[in-house]
A and B are shown apart, each in its own frame.
Chain A
Amino acid sequence: MRLPGLLLRAAVLVIAVALESSIMPYLAPPGVRVDLVLILTVLTALHQGRPGGAVWGFGGGLLEDLVTGRVVGVSALGKMTAGYLVGAVREVVFRDSLLVPVVLVAFGGTVNGLITLALASSFGIMGTGPAGFIRAEIVSVTLSAILTPLVHMCPIFPHARGVSDVREKA
């Protein structure tokens, strides 16, 4: 990726984190949010594959952790894994359809949620009960998935190439 594109996406990521931590509390009940960083991670993974997905997931998650004051690394690990897996999955299941990013965001969100739950439980950093967390995550992932097409239409995400193109390149 060229430097301007890289910087543009970095800026978008920063703004996404800022929006998430400042606007979402006004718009949704506690715990529920549109996970913009996850959407960006999944779309990047769709566009760039496993490495891009993992790197952007890690970067976005880490920024989220640092800005929101969470335990550093929880979101980073969850989103990095989500980005990596989505990047791996897209090489197998990618179809030129608007529904694919939606489904993959739901998939990535589920992965991220499960990892976050596992880490939070393991390290004793759960701020709420597991049931409440899971309910909020289900709503958040659903909302994020529904809003994915809007973000996908953003010019910074040129439509991912088809499987054939990827294979040709490989």
Chain B
Amino acid sequence: MYQFLSNKRILGYIAACLAVLSVIYVTSRERAGLTRWEELIRESMRPLLSIISDIASGLNRSLWALTHIGQLSRENVALTRQVLELKAQLLELAEYKAENDRLRRLLGFREAAPYATVAARVIGRDPSRLSSTLLIDKGQKDGVAKDMAVITFGGLVGRVISVTANTATVLPVIDPRSAVGGIIYRTRDLVLVEGYAGSPGLCMLKPLSSDADIVAGDQVLSSGLGGVFPKGLLVGRVVEVTKGKYSVGKVALVEPDVDFSKLEEVLVITGGSAGRTDSSRAREVRP
């Protein structure tokens, strides 16, 4: 026994064991925090652990992918299909949202408008580019008749040129066959607004008097003369003023506020005006 205990190595081992046991006792209790040495060692190992853990994680993912390749392939097909379906749904929802926005604006305009109107949806356009007529889904059954004015929240769209029981064809103001009696809001000069073939999407403004005062930016409203279009509907804004034929008088180009290429819903005016003034209409129509 004495010989055993006199072995320095064994004594050293026993001493080390006792020291470690005391450390275990201390560290197994609830402590306020780690010691500085513990923190130092753990912090110094952190970068290495982080790197190895990243590599391990990557390898693990790759290994998992390799062993589950069949399942992943099936899932991929299913998810791709799902993504496509969701994209389609998303597009549909966006479509509904845009439609909702437009209809809300139209409804607001309709409620503010002093006319009896019928809301219609644009269901067709002339694809030949020969004319810019629009086909709407309301016709005689809905009270739509020839030569009724068609408007939207942006202003005047055009007039009905033909009608069936459930559809109607609208001739927009930008069509060269169209002519609308107008008035310059600022100066009260009477003008004629015609569709202009030379620049699709714009109208040609011709003043009825040679000394009419027209400048770019002027608002053009319908004059109500002629009996087709009610008075005070916004037709567009003057974008360019030039000299007339043979340098006599002046003509101007008018850009309608209505975007005809994106027009989807319109209102057909089926009843008479409540007698609003041009200025009040212009303020309302002005975006």
Mark A residues whose CB is within 8 Å of B. 14-15, 17-19, 21-23, 26-27, 50-51, 54, 58, 63, 66-67, 69, 71-74, 76-77, 80-81, 84, 119, 123-125
Category for how many chain B residues contact A: 20 to 34
Mark B residues whose CB is within 8 Å of A. 9, 13, 16-17, 20-21, 23-25, 27-28, 37-38, 41-42, 45, 48-49, 52-53, 55-57, 59-60
CA–CA, A17 to B49, complex, Å? 9
The SS class assigned to the A binding surface is: helix
Q: Which residues of A contact B27 (CB under 8 A)?
A: 71-73
Asked whether B24 lies within 8 Å of A80 as measured between CB atoms, the reply is no
A-B contact count (CB 8 A): 74
CA–CA, A123 to B25, complex, Å? 7
Choice from B25, B52, B59 contacting A18 with Cβ under 8 Å: B52
Asked whether A72 lies within 8 Å of B49 as measured between CB atoms, the reply is no
CB nearest to B40 among chain A residues: A66
Asked whether A77 lies within 8 Å of B21 as measured between CB atoms, the reply is yes
Q: Which residues of B contact A19 (CB under 8 A)?
A: 52
- 18 A-B interface contacts by CB (under 8 A): A14-B45, A22-B49, A23-B52, A23-B56, A26-B57, A26-B60, A58-B16, A58-B20, A67-B41, A67-B45, A72-B24, A72-B27, A73-B24, A76-B20, A77-B24, A123-B24, A123-B28, A125-B28
CB nearest to A77 among chain B residues: B20
Q: Which residues of A contact B37 (CB under 8 A)?
A: 66
CB nearest to B23 among chain A residues: A73
Q: Which of B17, B24, B37, B42 counts the most A-chain CB atoms under 10 A from its CB?
A: B24
CA–CA, A80 to B16, complex, Å? 9
CA–CA, A67 to B44, complex, Å? 10
CA–CA, A166 to B142, complex, Å? 112
Q: Which residues of B contact A73 (CB under 8 A)?
A: 20-21, 23-24, 27
Q: A19-B52, A22-B52 are in contact. Are A51 and B9 (CB under 8 A)?
A: yes
CA–CA, A19 to B53, complex, Å? 8
CA–CA, A77 to B28, complex, Å? 14
